[in-house]
Amino acid sequence: MEDESGKTVLSKEKADFLRRWIELRKVFDSGEIISGKIIKRIKGGMIVDLKGVQAFLPGSQIDVRPVKDFDKYLDVEMKMKVVKFNEMRKNVVVSHKAILEESLAEKRDEIFSKLEVGAIMEGRVKNITDFGVFIDLGGIDGLLHITDLSWGRINHPSEIISMDESLTVKVIDFDNEKKRVSLGLKQLTPHPWETIETDFPEGEKIKGKVVSMTNYGAFIEIKSGIEGLIHVSEMSWTRHVKNPSELYSLGDEVEAIVLSIDTEERKISLGAKQLAEDPWDKIEEKYNIGTIVKGKIINLTQFGAFVELEEGIDGLIHVSDFSWTQVVRHPREMIEKDQNIEVRILEVSRESRRISLGIKQLVDDPWPELLKTYETGSVHEGEIVKILDKGIILILENNIEGIIPFGRQSKKQRKDITQKYNIGEKISGSVMEVKPENKKVILFSDELSDKNIQKDEIKDFLDNQEQPAGEKIEIPEDISEGEETEDSSDSVSD
């Protein structure tokens, strides 16, 4: 090329570059190994001087292991192979890793030819992942899976393994074709279950760490590789534990008693409540039938109230044991939660772990005297509290519930009668019959009752007026489920 003056423009630098470029093309085609000096660090790798031509050395091609410190390679002379050669863009990519891999391939073939299952080998930790550890065995990489690190439970290999750590491992499997090796660390020690019965005999007190929890219990690691289960039913003598999280948290150090060992299923049952004396063993001696005790209302249900007599010991007051005379349809009519009250012990059962309590039993049964007050034919006045299709309910003296049934009167007659009266008005009637077992007095009124009313009609009325059709039973929000619900159903049947 000529300049404006007609002089030819020459370049020694370009001549050297082209001469070197031709040489590098031959190197690339032949696969020859060359030397280059790393002169600069850039994003993604390094710049290498190949005697006049600059090449790119990717960070992933410097070594077979991930590089943490790139700066240590600056100004270092290194052997390389040209792995990419772009004639158009005049770009060259080199690799040092390719040389190392060729050398490792020879070593790998040699190692695999001598490899045996069960062989003990020395290695260095090359990489740590969530699922395991890669070990450099001096030419080949083996995988030490997380399940083969320890007989115990671990969440991540980094809990017990560190990078570049030297380890003695055991070959548990290998694939010569795929060049894969499976290693084990825990296999170098005996399985802890081999001596479990002598290490942890039944009845032994142990200490361990909570490593897992389910809705039915907590798993305790008592030794590396040995876990036992404390079932929720074995956590407390007195408390109904619905979930172990009520008492334990992951990582807690706990004590327990070995209850049983199943070596075939490799299961250990543990108990925490056995560390303390069962308070129900002497419950019948402590709470004698007929004695009066104090307690606190801890729960109200449709069928009764639960009273805490002491920590973990509850008793039930059934709705039928609240009053001799008053019909109690829900405990909240008489008491409220957290109230401190006196009760009488009615029944104690150590086997079923139940205590029956009563409030009405604190006083004598008034019905023998009330039968004299409400003699047949005597007239009494009461306040109307409810008007039903079959009769009127009123409250008499001493909070006794009185009933005036309509008998066989027609619907129209009943409607006419009920329209004449309102809740809160006073009305009188003569006593027909007294039913202490139902806590009711049956009255007769010339205006309201049919003179020919039959006893079976009275019975029918009593059976139906307790819970009129369509009347909804409201269950309070503070009714708990679980132990109270289960106990309550039994108590009702009792």
Same domain assignment for residues 120 and 154: yes
Please compute, for residue 67, the number of CA atoms within 13 A of its CA located in the half-sphere on the CB side.
Answer: 18
Same domain assignment for residues 217 and 180: no
Same domain assignment for residues 357 and 410: no
- Amino acid (1-letter code) at residue 476: P
Q: Could you report the per-residue pLDDT of 158-172, keeping only the tens digit for each?
A: 988 999 888 899 998
Give pLDDT, residue 209.
92
Residue 376 within any structural domain of the chain: yes
440: nearest Cα among 471, 407, 405: 405
Same domain assignment for residues 374 and 451: yes
Residue where one domain finishes, among candidates 147, 165, 188: 188
Same domain assignment for residues 127 and 39: no
DSSP string across 297-354: EEEE-SSEEEEEEETTEEEEEEGGGS-SSS--SSGGGT--TT-EEEEEEEEEETTTTE
At 429, give phi and psi (nearest 5°): -160, 160
Give pLDDT, residue 150.
86
Give pLDDT, residue 297.
92
Give the number of residues written for the chain: 494
pTM for this prediction: 0.47
Parent domain of 238:
192-275
Domain CATH for 245: 2.40.50.140
Residue where one domain finishes, among candidates 100, 123, 151: 100
Give pLDDT, residue 316.
93
451 confidence band (pLDDT: 50, 70, 90): low
Question: Per mean pLDDT, which of 67-71, 181-185, 364-368, 397-401 is the most reliable?
Answer: 181-185
How far is C-alpha 419 from the chain's CA centre? 59
- Amino acid (1-letter code) at residue 235: M
Residue 479, pLDDT > 50, answer: no
Residue 110 within any structural domain of the chain: no
- Amino acid (1-letter code) at residue 456: D
Same domain assignment for residues 207 and 249: yes
Mean pLDDT score, 453-474: 48
Three-class SS state of 203? coil
Query: What residue has token string 């600059």?
Result: 54
How far is C-alpha 345 from the chain's CA centre? 38
Same domain assignment for residues 407 and 455: yes
Residue 475 within any structural domain of the chain: no
Same domain assignment for residues 209 and 183: no
Same domain assignment for residues 322 and 373: no
Residue 7 within any structural domain of the chain: no
Residue 491 within any structural domain of the chain: no
Number of domains in the chain: 5
Give pLDDT, residue 408.
74
At 204, give phi and psi (nearest 5°): -70, 140
483 confidence band (pLDDT: 50, 70, 90): very low
Residue 199 within any structural domain of the chain: yes
- As a whole number, the mean pLDDT across the chain is 83
Residue 171 within any structural domain of the chain: yes
416 confidence band (pLDDT: 50, 70, 90): confident
Residue 108 within any structural domain of the chain: no
Same domain assignment for residues 375 and 349: no
Same domain assignment for residues 287 and 211: no
Residue 217, pLDDT > 90, answer: yes
Distance CA 441, CA 370 (A): 10
Cβ(383)–Cβ(395) under 8 Å? yes
At 432, give phi and psi (nearest 5°): -95, -45
Residue 482, pLDDT > 80, answer: no
Residue where one domain finishes, among candidates 339, 362, 385: 362
Question: With 0-12 CB in 10 A as exposed, 13-18 as middle and 19+ as buried, what is 493?
Answer: exposed
Name 438's Cβ contacts closer than 8 Å, sequence gap at least 6. Answer: 462
Q: Could you report the per-residue pLDDT of 288-339, keeping only the tens digit for each?
A: 889 999 999 989 999 999 998 887 788 999 998 998 888 888 998 889 998 9
Same domain assignment for residues 355 and 299: yes
- When comparing pLDDT for 473 and 369, which is higher? 369
Three-class SS state of 93? strand
183 confidence band (pLDDT: 50, 70, 90): very high
Distance CA 296, CA 482 (A): 20
